[in-house]
Amino acid sequence: MDQFDVKLLQAIQSDGRLSNFELADIVGLSASQCSRRRAALEDTGAIASYHAHLDREALGLGIVVFVQVTLATHSPDNSRRFLKLIESLEEVQEAYALTGEADYLVKATITDLKALSRLLNEVFLPHDSVAHVRSSIVLDRLKQTSQLPLGHLIPAETRTAEGSRSRRKGSSQRSRRSS
């Protein structure tokens, strides 16, 4: 993977609908080269899929909640039962197996507090794999991104050279403004 691939990935992360002509302007290659590179990145799995980002509030989903789940017993069968439960719930967007006090952290998006009560009291708590749940309602989102950090893919000497150019450009613009 070279700097052109990284630029292509960064551009696609920001807007997955970019045409190869638009990518060519951003990346600095021809549209046909961008098309080949995009196809190669798709083939390797670096580009896994393309998605539309929906606005949850515009769709009536006013609450985001994180639920910490502790299993009743720690066994492969119990973990599979819990996984099956999680996969069946459309409200659940993300779920992570954890180290520490809780066994899982589940992110769910729901319409209102009544839906939260139903999810906790009628779905999670009665499930035979679950011993304990603790929920936290999101009051305010400070940052949300689905973009992955890609700086580590750029060779260090390229990052250093680009950083030097940016610093020189910034200092020359400041000098002109101050005169």
Domain extent, residue 88, equals 63-137
Structure tokens at 59: 């769709």
CATH of the domain at 118: 3.30.70.920
Which 3-state string (H, E, C) describes 7-20?
HHHHHHHHCCCCCH
In this structure, what are the phi and psi dihedrals at residue 99, rounded to the nearest 5 degrees?
Answer: -95, 165
Helix (H, G, I), strand (E, B) or coil at 66: strand
- Each residue's pLDDT, cut to its tens digit, for the chain (179 residues) gives 899 999 999 999 999 999 999 999 999 999 999 999 999 999 999 999 998 889 999 999 999 999 999 999 999 999 999 999 999 999 999 999 999 999 999 999 999 999 999 999 999 999 999 999 999 999 999 998 888 999 888 877 666 666 656 555 555 555 555 54
Q: Has residue 83 been placed in a domain? A: yes
CATH number of the CATH domain containing 16: 1.10.10.10
Q: Which residue has the tokens 């439960």?
A: 85
Dig out the tokens for 13 from the structure: 């992360």
Dihedral angle of Cα 119, 136, 82, 99, to the nearest 10 degrees:
180
Place of tokens 């708590």: 125
Buried b or exposed e, range 86-106, using 16+ CB within 10 angstroms: beeeebbeebeeeeeebbbbb
Residue 154: the pLDDT is 83
pLDDT of 172 reads: 52
Report the side by side order of strands in the sheet with 63-71.
92-97, 104-110, 63-71, 130-137
Q: DSSP assignment, residue 120?
A: I
Alpha helices, H only, the chain? 3-14, 20-27, 31-44, 76-88, 113-118, 156-178
73 & 24 share domain: no
Same domain membership, residue 75 and residue 133:
yes
118 within a domain of the structure (yes/no):
yes
| pTM for the predicted model, two decimal places | 0.77
